[in-house]
Amino acid sequence: FNFGDALPHAIVPAGPLPAISVPVVVDGLSAPGATCKTWPPTLHVVLAGSSAGSGADGLHLAGDGSTVRGLVIGGFDGAGIHIAGSDNRVECSYLGANAAGTAALPNGTGLRVRGSSNQIGGTSIATRNLIAGNTLDGIAVEPGASGQDSLYNHIQGNYIGVQADGVTPLANGRDGIRLGDAPVTAAGTTVNDVASNLVGGDDASAGNVIAHSGRNGITVFCCANNRITANAIYSNTQLGIDLVGADGILGVTANDSGDLDSGGNDLQNFPVLASAAGAATITATLNSAASALYRIEFFAGDACDTSGYGEGERLLDTITLMTNSSGNVQFSQNVAGVPDGAALTATATRLLSAPAGGQVYG
């Protein structure tokens, strides 16, 4: 991109753009003065959907192996970016916010993924995306058509539902991230999976900020082994993470003995916090699958959640433990850095050989 001197530069298509079916690099950083070396980035190329028509997407990546970098995409009735392939990358872009990252330029959905092994963001500020101000979901990972699964996608290091400063609200209207919808089944077998996706990572450098959503921070509608770890999830209207059963009813799912139920992330049971003493020793229990390995994450928030199931605003510590043959484990952990008056919460994530699955707050 090499325009004149007026910044930023707006591209306003008069109708839907054609799908991209071969590997390309759409690089807004080729515009003079644009950079992603610092945060917030300086972005000079805006793809505006005000004249694109009903249901139009901004960019439709219908093939594999493309990269989108350094763009501002907003005003599209469909998705800012629609990925329908594999091994694509989206980084250092604003989806649903203006070039300053301070006001909404809403798409219907910020980013829709119907494919596998795509990378959204990353572990450095140079790859972070701002996905905020959209009418529906910030990111929707959905099953594709004709038996296409959505597996092994990585969503890391993004600001979702906040302005570019990482703090001021710029809400998405529904979920920050939605994983799946009703799975397509045939003869009792799931045909279209949304499974084994990674939201966050092992530490805060890979975690996303997911805040101020009109519904949930993350909703997991179907399928298992979606790992959700090391994120900062807070101030969402309903729950931080909602695992939804086959009945499709949203809201807190009670723990069940042995954790034998099914649904989003197999409706993973949450830890039950028994006490927090000093500064602070947290004592808790978990009942889940027998003889299974779990990652427990401890979080602090500024206030108790009205649902009674607090969100995870600041990651304090993690431990790994195993349940006994009855599926039970009791544990106590000394956690540093707990502010006075903080609300504490914990999550359980089952660790598997593939990207691990299951997380819900207790």
Each residue's pLDDT tens digit, 73-82: 999 999 999 9
222 and 110 in a single domain? The answer is: yes
In single-letter form, the type of residue at position 69 comes to R
Using CA atoms, how far residue 327 sits from 62, 293, 321, in Å, is 44, 10, 12
250 in a structural domain: no
- Residue that terminates a domain, selected from 238, 259, 287: 238
Range(s) of the domain holding residue 339: 269-362
CATH number for the domain that contains residue 348? 2.60.40.4070
Tell whether 352 and 218 lie within a shared domain: no
Number of domains in the chain: 2
Cβ–Cβ under 8 Å, residues 288 and 268: yes
Q: Which residues of the chain have pLDDT under 50?
A: 354-355, 361-362
Let me know: does 9 contact 45? Beta carbons within 8 Å.
yes
* pLDDT tens-digit readout, 201-241: 999 999 999 999 999 999 999 888 999 999 999 999 999 99
- d(Cα 270, Cα 254) in Å, to the nearest integer? 9
Q: Are residues 165 and 293 in the same domain?
A: no
pLDDT at 132: 99
Q: Among residues 221, 238, 255, which one ends one of the domains?
A: 238
Report the chain's mean pLDDT, rounded to a whole number.
Answer: 92
Amino acid at 326: S
Render pLDDT for 28-52 as a digit per residue (tens, 0 to 9): 999 999 999 999 999 999 999 999 9
- Report cis status (omega within 30 of 0) of the bond before 106: no
155 token code pair: 């969503």
pLDDT given at position 357: 61
Cα 331–chain centre separation: 29
- Tell me, yes or no, whether 259 lies in a domain: no
**pTM of the entire predicted model:** 0.95
The verdict on residue 254 lying in a domain is no
Distance CA 198, CA 206 (A): 10
Q: State the residue for tokens 């600001």.
A: 159
**What was the pLDDT predicted at 48?**
98
Note whether residue 148 is domain-resident: yes
pLDDT at 4: 67
Same domain, yes or no, for 155 and 213?
yes
Q: Are residue 233 and residue 273 in the same domain, yes or no?
A: no
CB crowding 228-243: b at 16 or more within 10 Å, else e: bbbbbbbbbebbbbbb
- Please tell me whether residues 208 and 273 are part of one structural domain: no
Q: Is residue 247 part of a domain?
A: no
Please check whether residues 181 and 330 belong to one and the same domain.
no
Domain presence at residue 34: yes
Residues 229, 290, single domain; the answer is no
Same domain, 56 and 203: yes
Residue 174 shares a structural domain with residue 282: no
Same domain, 172 and 301: no
pLDDT for position 305: 83
The answer to whether the CB of 344 falls within 8 A of the CB of 299 is yes
Rg for the chain, CA atoms, rounded: 20
Which one of 195, 218, 238 terminates a domain?
Answer: 238
